[in-house]
Amino acid sequence: MAKSRVLFGAVVFAATSIAAAAFAANITDANVARTSADTLTITWTDADAVDVFVSSDPAAAPKAAKLISKLDADGRHQMTTDTVSRQYFLLRDAKSGQIVRVAERAVPLSQGSNFRDIGGYPGADGKQVRWGVLYRSGGTPLLSDSDVSMVKSLGIKDMVDLRSSEERVLAPTRLDGIRYAAVGYSIRQIMAARPAANTATTGGAISQIDMGAAYRGFPTLLTPQIKLLFAHMLGNEGPIAYNCAAGQDRTGFTTAMVLSVLGVPRDVIYKDYLLSVTYRHPEFEMPKIDDATAATNPAAAMFAGYQRDPAYARPQPLQDASGTPYLAAAMDEVEKHWGSIDNFLEKEIGLTPKNRERLRAMYLTN
C-alpha cells in the first residue's frame, strides 16, 4: 500500500508539472533596437519574470553568457554598448526555462546600407534560424574603415555578390580579405524590364523599372548565384554574407529561397523583405558617378539617373498600391513554372531533400 501511495503521488506530481508547463507563459515579441548611438533596448512580452543574458557568441549557453538582468518583469532592459562588437541576448523564462535568442537586426554601420542578420525567424519543427551565420546586405563600396572592421569581426568566411558585372566594376566592395564569389551577367538583363517608353540609357526614376517584370525574371537570372550561395552554406565553413546593390530586390528573392528552405513561413519572409525600406541608405550603395563615365557606360548612366532623381535619396516602397510585396511576383513565378519552391530548388539549384535536411540541421537551433 505504501508503494502504491508513493507511485500515485509521483504520477500526480508529474501530471501537475506537465500541466504547469503547459500553462507557463512564453516569451514572445522579443526585439533589440538601437535607441541611441550607444544604447540597445531589449524588449519582450512574458507574464513571467525573465533573466537576461548577453554574449558576443550567438550560440552561447546561459552559463557561458553574462547575466545582466535577473527576474526582470517589466519586459524591457537597456544596455550601454558600442559599435565595435556585436551582442546577442538570451532571454530565459524564470518559470518554464524557455530560452529565446535575439539580437539587433541590422549591423550598425556608419556608411553601409541594409546589412542585416536573418537569424531569429521561426523555422521548421518549432526551431529558430540561427543568429550570426547568414547576413544579407546592400553594396559595400563606401564602408568606412570602422565599418570594415565591424563586418570582419563577424567572422564572415564567404561573400556572394549578386550584382551584375557592370555594377561590380562601378562599385567594388571594400571587404578585402573575405573570400569573394560572383557570377557575371549584364545589368541590361534587368534594364530590359523597363517599359518601352523608358528604354533610353539616360537613367531616370526608379519607378521606370517594371518591378513585376523584373521580379518574375529573378528565378532564372539568379539561378547561378543561388547555386553558389547554397554550395557555400552546405560547406558550413562559417558565416556567409550575400548582397546586391540595394540589398532588397535580388537579395530579397535570394533570402526568400534561403528562408523557405529553413521552413520560415511566407508571411515572415515578406516581413523581412519589407524591412529594406527601414534599413537602406541609398547614398552609400554606389559612388557618385560623373558625367563623363555616364556618357560612355549605359549601366553608369542608369545609376547616374537615379542619383539625379530626388527619389533616390530615400528608399522606395516595396509593394504595389494594393499592398502586395513585389517579391510575391517572383514567388508566384516559381510556383507557376515549377509547382513549388522545393521543386524549383531541386530541379534548378540541385537541392535534394537530403540537402534541405542538412541545411536545417546546420542553420536552425532550438
Provide, rounded to the nearest whole percent, the portion of the chain with pLDDT above 90.
80
Q: What pLDDT band is residue 298 in, cutting at 50, 70 and 90?
A: confident
Q: Residue 360: what pLDDT?
A: 98
Decide if pLDDT at 200 tops 70: no
Strands (DSSP E) found in the chain:
28-36, 39-45, 50-55, 66-72, 76-80, 88-93, 99-103, 116-117, 128-129, 134-137, 158-161, 179-182, 240-243, 364-365
For residues 128 and 256, membership in a common domain is answered with yes
For residues 271 and 299, membership in a common domain is answered with yes
For residues 316 and 219, membership in a common domain is answered with yes
Q: What pLDDT band is residue 297 in, cutting at 50, 70 and 90?
A: confident
Q: Residue 209: what pLDDT?
A: 66
Between 15-24, 203-212, 329-338, the lowest mean confidence (pLDDT) is in 15-24
Grid cell 552554406 — which residue?
233
For residues 85 and 212, membership in a common domain is answered with no
Within a domain: 352: yes
Q: Closest Cα partner for 54 from 89, 83, 19, 28? A: 89
Decide if pLDDT at 148 tops 80: yes
Across 248-258, average pLDDT = 98
Bigger pLDDT: 74 or 198? 74
Residue 266: which CATH number?
A: 3.90.190.10
CA dist 113 and 251 (Å) reads 13
Give the model confidence (pLDDT) of 260-283 as tens digits: 999 999 999 999 999 999 999 999
For residues 260 and 338, membership in a common domain is answered with yes
Q: Would you say the C-alpha torsion 241, 243, 248, 249 has a positive or negative sign?
A: negative
Cα dihedral 122→124→128→134 (10° resolution): -100
How many domains is the chain built from?
A: 2
For residues 73 and 215, membership in a common domain is answered with no
Grid cell 526568400 — which residue?
256
Within a domain: 98: yes
Bigger pLDDT: 194 or 336? 336
Decide if pLDDT at 83 tops 80: no
CA dist 223 and 254 (Å) reads 9
Residue 93: which CATH number?
A: 2.60.40.10
Within a domain: 2: no
Give the model confidence (pLDDT) of 12-60 as tens digits: 333 433 334 444 569 999 999 999 989 999 999 999 999 999 999 999 9
Within a domain: 87: yes
Provide, rounded to the nearest whole percent, the portion of the chain with pLDDT above 70.
89
The DSSP result for 153-183, as a single string, is TTT--EEEE-S-HHHHHHS--S-TTSEEEE-
Q: Residue 195: what pLDDT?
A: 56
Mean pLDDT of the chain: 89
Residue 236: give the domain boundaries. 116-365
Across 151-179, average pLDDT = 96
For residues 92 and 146, membership in a common domain is answered with no
Within a domain: 211: yes
Across 114-135, average pLDDT = 97
CA dist 45 and 27 (Å) reads 6
174, 138 contact by CB (below 8 A): no
For residues 63 and 158, membership in a common domain is answered with no
Within a domain: 9: no
Domain end marker among 69, 103, 137: 103
Across 81-102, average pLDDT = 92
For residues 256 and 294, membership in a common domain is answered with yes
131, 58 contact by CB (below 8 A): yes
Q: Residue 208: what pLDDT?
A: 53
Q: Residue 107: what pLDDT?
A: 96
For residues 196 and 262, membership in a common domain is answered with yes
Within a domain: 11: no
Decide if pLDDT at 313 tops 60: yes
For residues 51 and 156, membership in a common domain is answered with no
For residues 198 and 95, membership in a common domain is answered with no
Decide if pLDDT at 193 tops 80: no
Within a domain: 14: no
Across 173-180, average pLDDT = 96
Decide if pLDDT at 141 tops 90: yes
Domain end marker among 79, 103, 127: 103
Q: Residue 8: what pLDDT?
A: 38
Decide if pLDDT at 10 tops 80: no
Domain end marker among 78, 103, 128: 103
Q: What is the DSSP letter of 349?
A: I
Across 92-98, average pLDDT = 95
Q: What pLDDT band is residue 199 in, cutting at 50, 70 and 90?
A: very low
